[in-house]
């Protein structure tokens, strides 16, 4: 069961949900509403992450997730305008192969050991070490860009599953089950 807290918490949640649904609001305004909701609702409650993250680290973590998500929304929206939903042109099979293609690219980039000379130091990335490989080549057309593309495709897939009424748009059930574990 979800504890929605006080009436003020419920009102903040309502504003956040309304903000996401309001097509007239900018992405920045939507993100700010969610940020406000999370600060007052999630951060004030006990977090599962608090056992390994102090409050400052948890705040940085959540702020980074907001920024990453905000950029994902911008990127996915722009690419949808540019490509017109071509990722799902062939249905679920086509969507699968778009995701698989991105994963294959990531795997190809990390399956070997990589050494990069940065002038003052050499960075060695062991096989399949995502962090090491991104550190070795942080360029925007490298591994980090493929990770971002994969995340975008996964967001598109989940949203399309909701649009097709294949999965429920109500997220709380999924997360409540995880909390019980």
Residue-by-residue DSSP string for 6-30: SHHHHHHHHHHHHHHH-TTS-HHHH
Instruction: Give the sign of the dihedral formed by CA 85, CA 87, CA 90, CA 95.
Output: negative
Higher pLDDT, 30 or 178: 30
Residue 41 and residue 7 in contact, taking contact as beta carbons nearer than 8 Å = no
Q: How would residue 118 be classed by pLDDT, with cut points 50, 70 and 90?
A: confident
Residue 41 and residue 5 in contact, taking contact as beta carbons nearer than 8 Å = yes
What's the pLDDT score for residue 117?
Answer: 84
pLDDT of 114 > 90? The answer is no
What's the pLDDT score for residue 167?
Answer: 87
User: What mean pLDDT is predicted for residues 41-58?
Assistant: 64
pLDDT in tens, 21-45: 555 667 677 667 666 666 655 555 5
Q: Pick from 112, 138, 115: which is nearest to 127 by CA?
A: 112
3-state secondary structure of 114: strand
pTM over 0.85: no
């Amino acid at each position: 069961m979800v504890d929605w807290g006080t009436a003020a918490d419920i009102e903040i949640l309502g504003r956040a949900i309304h903000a996401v649904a309001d097509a007239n609001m900018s992405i920045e305004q939507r993100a700010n509403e969610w940020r406000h909701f999370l600060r007052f609702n999630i951060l004030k409650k006990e977090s599962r992450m608090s056992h390994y993250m102090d409050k400052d680290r948890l705040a940085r973590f959540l702020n980074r997730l907001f920024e990453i998500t905000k950029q994902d929304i911008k990127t996915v929206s722009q690419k949808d305008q540019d490509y017109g939903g071509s990722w799902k042109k062939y249905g679920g099979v086509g969507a699968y192969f778009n995701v698989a293609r991105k994963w294959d690219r990531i795997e190809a980039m990390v399956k070997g050991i990589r050494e990069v000379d940065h002038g003052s130091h050499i960075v060695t990335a062991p096989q399949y070490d995502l962090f090491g490989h991104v550190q070795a080549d942080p360029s925007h057309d490298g591994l980090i860009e493929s990770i971002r593309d994969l995340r975008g495709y996964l967001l598109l897939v989940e949203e399309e599953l909701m649009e097709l009424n294949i999965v429920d748009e109500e997220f709380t059930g999924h997360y409540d089950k995880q909390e019980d574990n």
